[in-house]
Amino acid sequence: MLRAIYEWILDNGCTPYLLVNALADGVVVPVNYVENGQIVLNISATAVVNFSVENDMLSFSGRFGGVSQEVWVPIPAVLAIYARENGQGMLFEVSDDDTPPDGRGNSSPGDSDGVVPIRPSLKVVK
């Protein structure tokens, strides 16, 4: 499902953003950009290199504060994928064990290469 939404966002000329539970097991993201246990990542082709989505993990290289870093996100840690331009995308169910302490979606300030300082506006799609 994640791959399909990602492709749909790109096909519509939009920028895909990923909301990630940064506290989940196996997540490797730049901790300086994590806020309230979550991070929003710009996963467009212009922001990342070697983007890969497998059945259990997604990974890429991105620049954070001008420094290239590897990012690894287990699929269960993905909370949402959405388009920056219109907020359309998909929220994924989260178990109580995966919810950050305050349960809020948030992003963090940082450079525009990979971390985005806005909150998503999503609708639940069933």
Q: Tokens 């519509």 belong to which residue?
A: 12
More confident position, 63 or 114? 63
In the chain the domains, ranked by start, together with CATH numbers, are: 2-98 (2.30.30.220)
119 Cβ contact partners less than 8 Å away, ≥ 6 residues apart: 40, 105, 106, 107
Percent of the chain with pLDDT over 90: 69
pLDDT band (50, 70, 90) for residue 124: low
> Backbone phi, then psi, for 83, in 5-degree steps?
-90, 130
Question: Does the pLDDT value for residue 112 go beyond 70?
Answer: no
* pLDDT one-digit tens code per residue, 51-91: 999 999 999 999 999 999 999 999 999 999 999 999 999 99
Percent of the chain with pLDDT over 70: 74
For the ranges 4-18, 19-33, 90-104, the lowest mean pLDDT is seen at: 90-104
- Model pLDDT, residue 48: 95
| Cα dihedral 66, 71, 75, 77 in deg (nearest 10) | -70
Mean pLDDT of all residues in the chain?
Answer: 82
